[in-house]
Structure 1
Amino acid sequence: MTVNFRKAEEWFTFSDSQGNAIERKTEIRFDPLTGESSRLVFDAGLAVAPSDYREAAEQTGGAKCPFCPENLWKITPVFPKEITEQGRITQGEAVVFPNLFPYSKHNGVVIFSGQHYVRLEEFTTTMIKDAFLAAQRYIQKVAETDPKARYASINWNYLPYSGGSILHPHIHVIVSESPTNYQSLIREKSIAFQKEHDQEYFTALYETEKSLGERWIGERGNVAWMHAYAPKGHNDFTAIFPRAFSVHDLAEQDWEDFAAGVKDVFAVMAEQGFASFNAAVNLSLDPEVKQAVHVRLIPRFAIGMLQTSDMSFFQTLHQEPLSYKIPEEVAAKARVHFEISQS
Structure 2
Amino acid sequence: MNSLFRKKEEWFTFYDGKGNPIERKTEIRYDPLTEESSRIVFDPGMSLTPPDYTEAAKQTSGKNCPFCPENVHKLTPTFPKEIAENGRISHGQSIVCPNLFPYSKHNGVVIFSEDHYVPLSDFTNSMIKDAFTAAQTYIKQVMTVEKKPLFASINWNYLPYSGGSILHPHLHVIVSESATNYQRLMETKAREFTKTHNKEYFTYLYETEKKEGTRWIGEKGNIAWMHAYAPKAHNDFIAVFPNKISFQDIKEKDWDDFAQGLQAILATLDEQGLASFNMMLNFSKEATPIHARLTPRLTLGDLHTSDINFFQMLQEEPLTYKIPEDIAEKARIHFSNIN
Consecutive unaligned residues of structure 1, counting only runs of 5 or more, are: none
Query: What does residue 297 of structure 2 align with?
Result: 300
Query: What does residue 150 of structure 2 align with?
Result: 150
The change in CA–CA distance for 1:169 and 1:159 in structure 2 (over 3 A counts) is same
**Structure 2 CA distance, aligned partners of 1:48 and 1:161?**
14
Q: Which amino acid aligns with 1:295?
A: A
For residue 86 of structure 1, report the CA deviation from its aligned partner: 1.0
Q: Secondary structure at the match of 2:293?
A: strand
Asked if the contact 1:3–1:204 (Cα under 8 Å) also holds between the matched residues in 2, the reply is no
For residue 4 of structure 1, report the CA deviation from its aligned partner: 1.2
Q: Give the aligned CA root-mean-square deviation in angstroms.
A: 1.0
Listed as ranges, the matches of 1:317-336 within 5 Å are 317-336=314-333
Q: For each residue in 1:144-203, what CA deviation from the matched residue of structure 2 results, as whole angstroms up to 9, or x when unmatched?
A: 111345211100000000000000000000000100000000010011111122221101
Q: Secondary structure at the match of 1:70?
A: coil
**Structure 1 CA distance, aligned partners of 2:338 and 2:239?**
17
Q: Secondary structure at the match of 2:71?
A: helix
TM-score, normalised to structure 1's length? 0.97
Asked if the contact 1:151–1:179 (Cα under 8 Å) also holds between the matched residues in 2, the reply is yes
Asked if the contact 1:162–1:277 (Cα under 8 Å) also holds between the matched residues in 2, the reply is yes
The change in CA–CA distance for 1:75 and 1:295 in structure 2 (over 3 A counts) is same
Percent identical among aligned pairs is: 63
Asked if the contact 1:149–1:176 (Cα under 8 Å) also holds between the matched residues in 2, the reply is no
For residue 2 of structure 1, report the CA deviation from its aligned partner: 6.5
Query: What does residue 341 of structure 1 align with?
Result: 338
Asked if the contact 2:236–2:295 (Cα under 8 Å) also holds between the matched residues in 1, the reply is yes
**Structure 1 CA distance, aligned partners of 2:2 and 2:137?**
35
**Structure 2 CA distance, aligned partners of 1:115 and 1:231?**
32
Asked if the contact 1:224–1:241 (Cα under 8 Å) also holds between the matched residues in 2, the reply is yes
Q: Which amino acid aligns with 1:229?
A: Y
Q: Secondary structure at the match of 1:340?
A: coil
**Structure 1 CA distance, aligned partners of 2:236 and 2:76?**
33
Query: What does residue 134 of structure 2 align with?
Result: 134
Equivalent residue pairs, number: 339
Query: What does residue 313 of structure 2 align with?
Result: 316
**Structure 2 CA distance, aligned partners of 1:121 and 1:339?**
16
Q: Which amino acid aligns with 1:320?
A: E
For residue 311 of structure 1, report the CA deviation from its aligned partner: 0.8
Query: What does residue 123 of structure 1 align with?
Result: 123
- Does 2:259 correspond to 1:259? yes
Listed as ranges, the matches of 1:173-184 within 5 Å are 173-184=173-184
Which segments of structure 1 move beyond 4 Å, counting only runs of 4 or more? none
The change in CA–CA distance for 1:201 and 1:194 in structure 2 (over 3 A counts) is same
Q: For each residue in 1:101-129, what CA deviation from the matched residue of structure 2 results, as whole angstroms up to 9, or x when unmatched?
A: 00000000001001100111111000000
Q: For each residue in 1:295-342, what CA deviation from the matched residue of structure 2 results, as whole angstroms up to 9, or x when unmatched?
A: 110010111221111111111111110000000010011111111234
Q: Which amino acid aligns with 2:52?
A: D
Asked if the contact 2:31–2:229 (Cα under 8 Å) also holds between the matched residues in 1, the reply is yes
